[in-house]
Chains A and B, each alone.
Chain A
Amino acid sequence: MPNIQSLREKLDLLPDLCNEQMWPKVVDLEVNFPVDRTQLDQAIKTYGPWLAGAAAIGFLSGYMRSLAPYYEYIVLVCLAVGAWAFLQIRPHLKQWSEQSRRRREEESKLTQWIREELMKFLDPEFQFNSQPEFPKEVYTTCGLFPSSYDRAAAYGALAGMISQTQFNLVEISTHKKQTHKDSRGRTTVTWELIYRGLLFKADFNKNFNSHTLVQVERAQGRLGFLARGIQRLRGAQSELQRVKMESPEFEKVFKVTSTDPIEARYKLTPAFMEHFLGLRNKYGDGVELVFMNQQAIISIPHQKSFLPLYFNLKDLTQSLQSAAEELVDVLEIIEDLELDNRAWNRSSVQQKGA
């Protein structure tokens, strides 16, 4: 079973894998599926001016018809010249377009293969899915996001084990539809982004039954006391209670709510709070966390993908190396938060308690 140290050591061998196994396939792709624009460029160079000239003269004649008494004939001649020029370019355009389409298909297959090989290389047990289902249940029940959305997508998912800790990460985005009507009664539709980023799910190393949320404290500033008062009133109506933690630094940036304050403190030990603050420094202000169903679910909002979805085939080694490093950095969350710390075995305790 890999740990972060062993994954980092494997990264050093990645250039070899790339040169020995992947690069020959990229060369094959270049040889077997070339995209040649030379003939198309030549045709455009030769017939392009005819086409452009015919279009310009035809347009001007039509536009200034009062000045040109025989403008219908001029337009007809221009149309004929334009059609002739286009027919000269068309076969080359069609050939280039067909070559590009086949190349894109093959590139897509090759990228998929490289991705699978990379995952196998990191750990044969890792399971990567480039078209996963949107994790609707987790998204709507975790409490980190507004429960309603109009459009949702998942871009990639990876599951596996690091140091005895089962993990699952998925890249998602959700949007809300906004309809606006202007003064003339015309309707325009825009899509407002709700969330774009990573959902990182990992087994938590402690036994618990409650639901605990660690969210960004937005009730700050001069009117913070008012906002906190409203939060308290809303909290009184929900099952989630506000839990004030001992760490002033943690309290300053995060708001903890839980269905069980004692279990919330059981999960959020002083050491865990410190590690989570470190994670916030690494990934930015929007990092949030929820403990539910014996798992820790972390949301990391980000515009770019943490999973290797695309590679630059022209500079494959570098592209592969940076994608793999980013992925290992994300997986390091397990060790950063000490989720792999199995000082006691949860399953043995569960069996005992059963």
Chain B
Amino acid sequence: MSLGWLLLLGFLVVVVSLIFNSLIAKKNEIENALGAVHSYLQKRADLIPNLVATVKQYAAHESNLFKELTEARAALGRPMTGEGDLQACDSLMSQMFGRLIAVAENYPDLKANQNFLSLQGSLNEIEGQLSAARRTYNAAVVQYNNAVEGIPTVFVAKVLGYRRKAVFQVAPGVEAKPDLAQLFGQVS
């Protein structure tokens, strides 16, 4: 084999290795971002026992909602088969929280409860962090998808069996979630 062919082969090995590493890095970024989404979902779910206990003092008859919330929290603890499960869990819990806040709107004493206000503050903060984690995940997915479908990375991606991934989307109905800040006014 002549030197020219050896150089060409060496060049190709370097290019393929770079593409391979970049695809792996992009896949790991997605996993890392997904892990963050999961962690914030868990953090949000951890508020449920305290929220339920506080709301129960004023609206004990909303037992159905409390039961559904507890089940939604338990669902997050089960093993997930993919991003789809996590997204479904996120949507379900967002809807539950939306309903809980809507219930709270009917009880002025509850809205003035210090513990509830503090929980509402934490919930608002976690919602912001969760939204940031979703955006980070989506940014990582867009970069990954661009690499998986673009040339020349598409050839290596096919060999590795990498496929296009779906971005996080807000489930229908969740967009209309009550605005906590507007509902409770400015917390001093």
What residues make up the interface of A, taking CB atoms closer than 8 Å to B?
164, 206-207, 244, 246, 261-266, 269, 341-345, 348-349, 352
Distance between B110 CB and nearest chain A CB, rounded to angstroms = 17
Contacts of A352 in B (CB 8 A): 118, 122
Q: Which of A164, A206, A261, A341 contacts B125 (CB 8 A)?
A: A206
Complex alpha-carbon distance, A343 and B179, angstroms: 10
Contact mask for chain B residues 10-29; partner A; CB cutoff 8 A; 1 contact, 0 none: 00000000000000000000
What residues make up the interface of B, taking CB atoms closer than 8 Å to A?
33, 36, 117-118, 120-122, 124-125, 128-129, 131-133, 135-136, 138-139, 143, 180-181, 186-188
Given contact pairs A343-B124, A344-B125, a sample of 15 additional A-B residue pairs in the complex whose CB atoms are under 8 Å apart: A206-B125, A206-B128, A246-B139, A262-B132, A265-B131, A265-B132, A266-B129, A266-B131, A269-B132, A343-B187, A345-B121, A345-B188, A348-B121, A349-B122, A349-B125
Whether B136 lies near A343 (C-beta < 8 A) is no
Contacts of A342 in B (CB 8 A): 186-188
Q: Which 9 A-B pairs have the closest CB atoms?
A: A343-B181, A344-B121, A266-B132, A265-B132, A344-B124, A345-B187, A265-B135, A262-B136, A348-B118
Q: Which of B122, B129, B186 contacts A262 (CB 8 A)?
A: B129
Complex alpha-carbon distance, A263 and B128, angstroms: 10
| Pairs across A and B, CB under 8 Å, 5 listed | A206-B125, A265-B136, A266-B131, A344-B181, A352-B122
Complex alpha-carbon distance, A265 and B138, angstroms: 12
Complex alpha-carbon distance, A300 and B136, angstroms: 29
Complex alpha-carbon distance, A341 and B187, angstroms: 10
Whether A343 lies near B180 (C-beta < 8 A) is yes
Complex alpha-carbon distance, A348 and B116, angstroms: 12
Q: Check A262/B121 contact, CB under 8 A, given A246-B139, A343-B186.
A: no
Contacts of B187 in A (CB 8 A): 342-345, 348
Whether A349 lies near B33 (C-beta < 8 A) is no
Complex alpha-carbon distance, A206 and B187, angstroms: 14
Complex alpha-carbon distance, A345 and B122, angstroms: 9
Distance between A177 CB and nearest chain B CB, rounded to angstroms = 43
Distance between A61 CB and nearest chain B CB, rounded to angstroms = 85
Whether A207 lies near B125 (C-beta < 8 A) is yes
Distance between A195 CB and nearest chain B CB, rounded to angstroms = 31
User: Chain B: which residue is nearest A261 at the CB level?
Assistant: B136
Contacts of B186 in A (CB 8 A): 341-343
Contacts of A264 in B (CB 8 A): 132
Contacts of B135 in A (CB 8 A): 246, 265
Complex alpha-carbon distance, A263 and B129, angstroms: 7
Whether A344 lies near B122 (C-beta < 8 A) is yes
Complex alpha-carbon distance, A352 and B122, angstroms: 9
Complex alpha-carbon distance, A349 and B129, angstroms: 14
Contacts of B139 in A (CB 8 A): 244, 246
Contacts of A349 in B (CB 8 A): 118, 121-122, 125
Contacts of A262 in B (CB 8 A): 33, 36, 129, 132-133, 136
Contacts of B121 in A (CB 8 A): 344-345, 348-349
